[in-house]
Amino acid sequence: MKFSTLIFCLFSFLASEAQKTAVKGQVFDKVTGLPIGAITIGFENSTIKVSSNAKGEYSITCREKVSVVYFQGMGYKRLAFTVIPGQDHKLNVRMIPESLNLAEVNVSAVKVSGYRNKGNPAVELIRKVIEHKEANKAMLNGPLAYQEYEKLNICLSMATEKVKTSSLLNKLSFLKENSDSVSLPGKSLTPIYITEKLTQHIIEKSTSKQRSGILAEKQSRIDQYIDEDGINEYLDKIYQRVDIYQDDVGMGNQSFMSPIAQLAPQFYRYFITDTIKEVSPWQIKLLVSPRNKEDVLFQGYLYISLDGKYAVEQAKLSVSPQINLNWVKDMKISLEYNRDDSGRYYLKRSTLGMDLGIFKEGLGVYGEKTLMLTNFITGLAGLDQPLKLHRSENDLRRSKAELLDKLRPEKLSLSDAMSYRNIDSLKKSESFQRVMGIASFFLSGYIGKGILEVGPFNSFYSFNPVEGSRFRFGGRTTDTFSKRIFFDSHLAYGTRDRKWKYSLGTTLSLSPRSIYQFPVSSVTLRHSYETQIPGQDLTFLEEDSFLLSFKRGINDKWLYNRKWLLEFLHETKSHFSFKFGYKNQVLNPAGGLRFVRGRFSEQTGIHDLGVSEFFTEIRWAPHEQFYQGKRFRRLIRNEYPVFTLRGSVGIKGLLNGDYNYQTLTLNIFKRLYLSQFGYSDVIMEAGGVFGKVPFPLLAIHRANQSFAYQLPSYNLMNFMEFMSDRYASVNIEHSFNGFFLNKIPLIKRLQLREIVAVKVLQGGLSIGNDPKKNADLYPFPVDKQGQEVSFSLGQTPYVEGSVGLSNIFKIFRVDLVRRFTYLDHPRVAKWGIRAKLKIDF
C-alpha cells in the first residue's frame, strides 16, 4: 500500500511537472518602442499574476492547465495570446495605447525611424501649446486665498513573491501584517513613514505679497536617532513639486525639461494618438518621449484642450528605464489642472511616485507625494481667512495633528493609515533600535548610550609630519544629559612631538529648543590647545581625519594654537543669522615653520605670536535646506544664493594681543540650474586685511595637498604658497549630468557624468605688509635649503582648471586637474588627479 501510494505521488508529481507552463519575455510600447513596467501578466482562469519590471521584463509560471496568457495595464489595450500547455514560451509583446487602432500604430511606427519636426502635426500642436503657455498658466494673483495639502508616504518595496522569504519582514512580523499588495502591481508595500501638512496661503495684490501659515500637520517620527526635520528637507529635495507649466522640474540635483518648455521640441518627440470626445471640451491625447533615452526627460501622455486655448489639462508621465538617473527603479507622475475664474489653469492635484533602490530587483523604497490645492476664495473675502486655527503653543504638534483629521481634503488610504501604526510599533522593536543605532553611528561617527557618546571614530588615528602618529579620544554629552547644555572634549597625543593636545567646550541654548534645533540661539565657550596648518582653519575639513592624513609634497610647516573662544550665535526663521565673539590665540611655530624678525645675520627668533580679536559674521541664506547633525550641518544645495560677510578687529595690548588690524571678507555661493545642460556651482569671494601684520595674520589662500578633490580649495596649490592682504576669487564648477556622454554609443551605458571647473584667484600685497620692504615683519617661510616657498600674487592671477567624470559606479568622482600659472614655483605640479566620494540622484 505504501509502495503504491509512493508510485501514485511520483506519477502525480511528474504529471504536474509535465503540465508546467512557463512564459517569459519583454513588454514594449507599440508606438515608442520603449520598455514598459507595471504591466500585469496573468493566465486566464488562474489567480497567478506577475508584473513587468522597469525594463519591461517578466517571467510567469503555472502548474494548472492553462492555454491563454493576457497582458493589461493602465493606458493600454488588454491583449491575450494562446499558449501550449506544459511548454516553455518566449513572448515579446508590444502594447497598444488605448483608443489606437492598428493602422494608426503602424503609421506612427514608421514615422519614429524618420522622425522630424518639420511638417509634423504633433509638433505643430505642441508649438501652439508652448505659444499659449504663459496665457494659460495661472499666476495666482490676489486678492486670493487657498489651501495646499501635502502628503508624503514612504514604504519598503519588494516583489510580492519575495515577501514570505524576507528575513526583515519575518523579524518584524507586524510590518508584514500591515503591508499593501494592491497599490503597486507586482509589489508589496510596507508603510514606514508618513508626513502631512495643510497650509493656508493668502495673496494680496501680487505673488510677492504672500502670507502663509500651517493650519495643521501630522507626521510619524522616530526622533531619537536622526534629524527628521533634516530628512524631510532631503525628501523635499527629491520629491519636488512637478508642474509642467514650469520650464524645468527639479528632482534632487537633476533638472527635467518640461515637455512644453520653449526648447522642448528639440529634445522630445511627439505623436498624436487619440481624440477624447467623452469630455468637454474635447481633448487631444499626445504621446511624448525623449529623442535620446538616456537624457533626463519625461515620457508619457499630455491631454490638450481643443477649445482654442491649447491648454494641458492633464498629464501622465514616467521616465525611460535607460535614463541617467541613479537609484530610480520606476517613476509615475499624474497631474490634474483646473481652470480658475480668469480662464487660467492651476495645478489642482499631483501625484509623484518613485520606487528607489540600489539594486533593480532587490529591496527598495517607494515614496509617493500627493499635492492638492483646495478651498479657493477670490476677492477681498479671501484676505480675511485665518493663517492659524489655534493659539496654544504648549501642545502645538498634537493640536495640529488633531486638526488635520478634521481638515484633511480626502480620506487616508489604508496604506497611509498603516504608516502611523507601523512607526509606533517600530519604535518598540529592539532589532529596529539596533539598526537605527548603527545608522546613527555612520551618520555622526559617534557611538554610545545614555548621557555620553564617544567619537568621532574617523579621528581616532591620523598622522602628520609634525606629530607623527596621532591618537585622539573624544566624546560629548547627549540629549539625555540635557537638550539645552552641551559639553564636548577630546584628548590627543603625537608620538613624534610627544605633546598632549586637548579641547574642552560647552554650548548653552538661549531658547527653550535644543542646541541642534533650527533656528539656533546659543553661546559657546571653548578652550583648546591643538595643531593647525596655517590658512587651513576651515569649518568643512577636519585635518585629523585618517583619510586626510595622506598628502602630496612637503607638509612640515604647522602651528601650535592655544585658543580661548567665546561666541554668540543667533538664527532667524528667515535664515538670516549673525554671530559675534572674542578669541584669544597664542600661535607657536612647529615643524619647519619659524617666526623671525630682521634680516639675515641680524634675525632674532620669535617664540610665539599673540592674537586678541573680536569677530562677527552675518549670513543670509534664503530658503536654505540642510540636514542638522550633532557636529555639523550638511547643506542641501538649491537654486538660492548664500551670502556671508565676515569681519574682525585685532587689538594690540588687550590680553597679550601683539597687533592692531581689521579684516573683511564677503563670500557668495550660487547654484545655477541650466535644464538639460546640468548645473553650475559658483563661489565668489573678496577680502582684505587692513593694518600692518606678519604673514600668519594675512589671508593665506586655501590650498589642498590631499588627494581628495575640494571645490572651495585650490587643488594644485601648496600650503602657504600664496598670501595676500587684498584678493578676489571666483570658482566655477559645472556638472553636465551626462549631456554629452549620454549620446555616445556603448559609453552611455555606463551612465557617467561630465564635470568641468575653473578657479581664478587675483590678489596682492601692499608695501606695508611686504616683509621684503619691512624688516620688522616676519620673513616669508623658506625650505631647508633657504629657498622661498611662500609668495604674494603679482599681476598674473593664479588659475587652475579641471575636467572630471562622476557617477563612476554611482558613487565615485575622478578629476584631472591642470595648473596654468606660477609653474616656476618650487615643488609645484602642473597636472594632478583627484578623487572623492560623490553620491547623487
Helices (H), 210-330: 228-238
Q: Kindly tell me if the per-residue pLDDT of 796 is higher than 50.
A: yes
Report, as an integer, the average pLDDT of 398-425. 74
What pLDDT, on the 0 to 100 scale, is given for residue 150?
92
Task: Convert the pLDDT of each residue in 702-714 to its tens digit.
Answer: 999 989 898 889 9
Rounded CA gap, 635 and 638, in Å? Answer: 9
- Confidence at 321, pLDDT banded by 50, 70, 90: confident
Percent of the chain at pLDDT exceeding 70: 85
Report, as an integer, the average pLDDT of 30-38. 74
Spatial contact of 136 and 345, defined as CB atoms under 8 Å apart: yes
Rounded CA gap, 219 and 644, in Å? Answer: 34
Rounded CA gap, 23 and 31, in Å? Answer: 24
Claim: this prediction has a pTM higher than 0.85? no
Listed in sequence order, the residues at least 6 apart from 276 whose beta carbon sits closer than 8 Å to its beta carbon are 99, 282, 283, 284, 285, 303
Q: Which residues are registered as beta bridge partners of 661?
A: 650
In terms of phi and psi (left: phi > 0; alpha: psi -120 to 50; beta: otherwise), the region of 830 is: alpha
- Confidence at 762, pLDDT banded by 50, 70, 90: very high
Cell numbers linked to 457: 571614530
Cell numbers linked to 21: 507552463
Report, as an integer, the average pLDDT of 588-596. 92
Rounded CA gap, 178 and 189, in Å? Answer: 9
Rounded CA gap, 75 and 98, in Å? Answer: 6
Among the listed ranges 127-136, 232-241, 483-492, 515-524, which one has the minimum average pLDDT value?
232-241
- Confidence at 394, pLDDT banded by 50, 70, 90: very low
Q: Kindly tell me if the per-residue pLDDT of 109 is higher than 60.
A: no
- Confidence at 5, pLDDT banded by 50, 70, 90: very low
Task: Convert the pLDDT of each residue in 803-828 to its tens digit.
Answer: 999 989 888 999 999 999 999 999 99
- Confidence at 385, pLDDT banded by 50, 70, 90: low
Task: Convert the pLDDT of each residue in 602-647 to its tens digit.
Answer: 778 889 999 999 999 999 999 888 776 655 677 888 889 999 999 9
* Mean pLDDT of the residues in the chain: 83
Cell numbers linked to 238: 527629491
Distances (CA, A) of 151 to 190, 351, 624: 17, 10, 21
Q: What is the phi/psi pair of residue 416, to 5°?
A: -65, -45
- Confidence at 155, pLDDT banded by 50, 70, 90: confident
Q: Which amino acid does the sequence have at 31?
A: V
Q: Kindly tell me if the per-residue pLDDT of 11 is higher than 70.
A: no
Rounded CA gap, 747 and 456, in Å? Answer: 40
Q: Kindly tell me if the per-residue pLDDT of 392 is higher than 80.
A: no
Q: Kindly tell me if the per-residue pLDDT of 132 is higher than 60.
A: yes
Helices (H), 197-354: 228-238
Residue 201: how many other CB atoms lie within 10 Å: 20
Cis peptide before 465 (omega within 30 of 0): no
Among the listed ranges 184-188, 220-224, 357-361, 724-728, which one has the minimum average pLDDT value?
220-224
Q: What is the phi/psi pair of residue 430, to 5°?
A: -65, -40
Q: Kindly tell me if the per-residue pLDDT of 390 is higher than 50.
A: no
Beta strand 268-276 with 604-605 is: unpaired
Task: Convert the pLDDT of each residue in 527-579 to its tens digit.
Answer: 999 999 998 764 444 446 777 788 888 899 999 999 999 999 999 989 999 99
Helices (H), 62-182: 102-113, 121-131, 133-136, 167-171, 173-177
In terms of phi and psi (left: phi > 0; alpha: psi -120 to 50; beta: otherwise), the region of 25 is: left
What pLDDT, on the 0 to 100 scale, is given for residue 141?
67
Rounded CA gap, 723 and 717, in Å? Answer: 12
Task: Convert the pLDDT of each residue in 359-371 to its tens digit.
Answer: 666 778 888 899 9
Task: Convert the pLDDT of each residue in 52-90 to its tens digit.
Answer: 887 788 989 888 888 899 998 877 788 989 888 888 888
Rounded CA gap, 583 and 526, in Å? Answer: 9
Among the listed ranges 15-29, 107-121, 631-645, which one has the minimum average pLDDT value?
107-121
**Nearest 5°: CA angle at 112, between 110 and 113?**
80
- 830: Cα separation from own chain's centroid: 33
Q: Is 213 helix (H, G, I), strand (E, B) or coil?
A: strand
Q: DSSP secondary-structure letter at 714? A: B
Rounded CA gap, 643 and 624, in Å? Answer: 11
Q: Kindly tell me if the per-residue pLDDT of 10 is higher than 50.
A: no
Cell numbers linked to 774: 619691512
**Higher per-residue pLDDT: 829 or 445:** 829
What pLDDT, on the 0 to 100 scale, is given for residue 19?
61
Classify residue 825 as exposed, middle or buried by CB count within 10 Å of its CB (0-12, 13-18, 19+).
Answer: middle
Rounded CA gap, 467 and 463, in Å? Answer: 7
Rounded CA gap, 102 and 388, in Å? Answer: 57
Q: Kindly tell me if the per-residue pLDDT of 160 is higher than 50.
A: yes
Beta-strand ranges (E) seen in 478-607 are: 485-494, 500-509, 521-532, 557-571, 576-591, 596-597, 604-605
Q: Kindly tell me if the per-residue pLDDT of 510 is higher than 50.
A: yes
Distances (CA, A) of 225 to 155, 272, 326, 426, 434: 19, 52, 26, 13, 10
Order of strands across the sheet with 144-159?
210-219, 187-203, 144-159, 364-378, 345-356, 328-339, 312-318, 299-305, 283-290, 268-276
Q: Is 412 helix (H, G, I), strand (E, B) or coil?
A: coil
Rounded CA gap, 601 and 179, in Å? Answer: 83
User: Measured on CA atoms in the order 244, 247, 250, 254, is the torsion positive or negative?
Assistant: positive
Give the H/E segment covering residue 337: strand 328-339
**Higher per-residue pLDDT: 133 or 145:** 133
CA-based Rg of the chain, rounded to a whole angstrom? 32
Residue 538: how many other CB atoms lie within 10 Å: 13
DSSP for 310-331 reads --EEEEEEE--TT-S-TTEEEE
Listed in sequence order, the residues at least 6 apart from 385 whose beta carbon sits closer than 8 Å to its beta carbon are 145, 200, 202, 377
Spatial contact of 803 and 756, defined as CB atoms under 8 Å apart: yes
Q: Is 238 helix (H, G, I), strand (E, B) or coil?
A: helix
Give the H/E segment covering residue 454: strand 452-454
Task: Convert the pLDDT of each residue in 744-753 to its tens digit.
Answer: 888 888 889 9
